[in-house]
Amino acid sequence: MALARVQYEADGSTDTYSLTFPYIAKEDVKVSLDGTETTAWTWASDSSIKFDTVPTSGTIIDIVRETERENLLVDFQDGSTLLESDLDLAATQSFYLAQESFDQTGSTLTVAEDGSYSASSRRISTVGYPDSDDDAATQGYVKDQLGSNEQYATDAENAAIEAQNWANRAEDDLVPEGDGVDDYSALHWARKAEGWAQGVNMPSASGNALKILRQKSDESGFEYIEEPYPKSTADSRFIQGEGTLLDDTDDLNSINTKGLYAWGSLSPVNAPFGDYCNMLVTEGTGQLIQLVWGTPSGVRMAARRKDSGTWGGWTEFLQTDGSGTGLSGIAKLSSSNTFSSSNTFSGSTEFSSMPTVGGNSVVESGSNSFGTWYRNADGYQECHRIHSVNLSNTSIVNLQYPKTFTQVDGGASGFYNGITSGTNVSANWAISADAAAQNEWRLFRDGDGYNGSVDISMSAFGRWK
């Protein structure tokens, strides 16, 4: 049975046919109709193809695998870590080439039990026009040129010898072709594939549990070495079987591929903290982000972002104590100010700058030529102002707030300074926080009385957002 090819005879109605063999790449699969390669088909699934047009009844459909044989798919390097996937790919390439060589040998003329060469009841077609006495000849040529069955038999015998050369010519011995282009026999390629498979020179796995297999420095074979990274199930600090392993020869500034990474006792360059850490590289709003977490002296987490092609500094936002049961630092504000696990300040209460909530300062205050103001991050605002007026003025006085309101809830008040003791000025002036304008106080006189100059203190309460 063929190992890397399957053949069907079209029935004139079926357009989808199955593959009976595996492959490394879909590009390795070739399809021909009556011996002529065609590309008029698509993949129906990973194991079947579909023709664009249903083949005519009686057409021979040949589906064959042709694995890359000019170049190695894996090139091992000195000192590199040998991965199972690389070994599997290299072995699979050699194994598939061996199968295809055996298929090629099996599909050529074979020696029957009686010592003759058998074409397995198939015609020998597409034979070139003979140029020398050793060339095979077509039936038409024999009839036209020789006109005798005896000569036809002789030429057929010569063709069989030529076929035998293609099947069994010695390794590294070229088979001359009639068109002047020489090539090697099927036996040659089978022996080469066998040698490649045996040349892997794998050491015994017995007694080498949990060790790493790598190529020897002199390229003479492979050897087992102790694993440089602790990944036992007892070491719960280290990622188990996920991501790419890094060590002190790697630089995190050069890690720009999204995925999971980890390192053991050998920390890479530009790591935010020590050994036994994991790292996730992801992307947010078009920018790469590195998130590192690990267990050096408790659990720690840090992150940074790549902006305009340059990695920024690390921001550490989680750190537990050595026991792993309590938070000793969440949302660091400065080197001496951190929130404890109960959301209180455990360091100095002096801030280098005002903390913010949602981008707004927790508490903000100030003053200008219109007075003083105070506002909270939740939207509450107060404004205060002291203004000198002459009570003899009967017109309305409009005084701007030092900060505008979006909503004035009232609560405006005033008192008078500079009035002679015993003088009754009540009901002379009123102060209103204008709820309509939301940007000024309005002073107005509501009766007669004291007409001197006084200082009036005004306040307004409301919301700034």
Distances (CA, A) of 75 to 82, 246, 295, 367, 415: 11, 21, 37, 72, 90
pLDDT at 456: 77
Indicate the angle between helix axes 149-168 and 186-198, nearest 10 degrees.
10
Q: Is 200 in contact with 91 (CB distance < 8 Å)?
A: yes
- What is the rounded CA–CA span in Å between residue 38 and residue 389? 101
Residues facing residue 360 across a β-bridge: 357
Distances in Å between the Cα of 357 and the Cα atoms of 50, 362, 424 are: 61, 6, 48
Q: CA 223 to CA 225: how far, in whole Å?
A: 7
Domain ranges of the chain: 5-66, 76-227, 244-339, 363-463
Alpha-carbon gap, residue 284 to 270, rounded angstroms: 21
Q: Helix, strand or coil for residue 162?
A: helix
Give Cα 42 distance to the centre of its chain.
28
Q: How far apart are CA 98 and CA 93, in angstroms?
A: 9
Q: For the chain, which ranges sit under pLDDT 70?
A: 106-107, 110, 120-121, 145-149, 151-152, 178-181, 196-201, 227-242, 296-297, 321-361, 391-395, 411-438, 444-452
Three-class DSSP category at 235: coil
Evaluate whether 438 touches 398 at the Cβ level (below 8 Å). no
What's the pLDDT at 146?
59
Alpha carbon of 207 to those of 104, 203, 210: distances in Å? 40, 11, 9
pTM for the whole thing? 0.29
Are 21 and 46 within 8 A, CB to CB?
no
DSSP secondary structure letter of residue 149: H
The number of residues making up the chain comes to 465
Number of Cβ within a 10 Å radius of residue 217: 9
Q: Using DSSP, state whether 61 is helix, strand or coil.
A: strand
Residue 68 contacts residue 26 (beta carbons within 8 Å): no
Q: What's the DSSP call for residue 345?
A: B
Contact 192, 94 (CB under 8 A): no
Contact 94, 197 (CB under 8 A): yes
Residues 6+ apart with CB under 8 A from 48: 16, 17, 18, 19
- Measured CA to CA, the distance from residue 229 to residue 8 in angstroms comes to 52
φ/ψ (deg, to 5) at 98: -65, -45
Each residue's pLDDT tens digit, 260-291? 898 888 889 999 988 888 889 988 777 899 99
CA distance 158 to 127: 13
Q: CATH code for 363-463?
A: 2.60.40.3940
Q: Angle of helix 186-198 relative to helix 84-107, nearest 10 degrees?
A: 160
pLDDT at 420: 45
Amino acid occupying residue 142: V
**Total Cβ atoms within 10 A of residue 230:** 13
Which structure tokens are listed for 323?
């026991």
Using DSSP's 3-state secondary structure scheme, residue 34 falls into: coil
Which tokens belong to 65? 């695998």
DSSP string for residues in 353-369: S--EETTEESEEEEEET
Q: In this predicted structure, what is the pLDDT of residue 253?
A: 94
Cβ atoms within 10 Å, residue 250: 19
Give which of 307, 70, 15 is closest to 192, Cα–Cα: 70
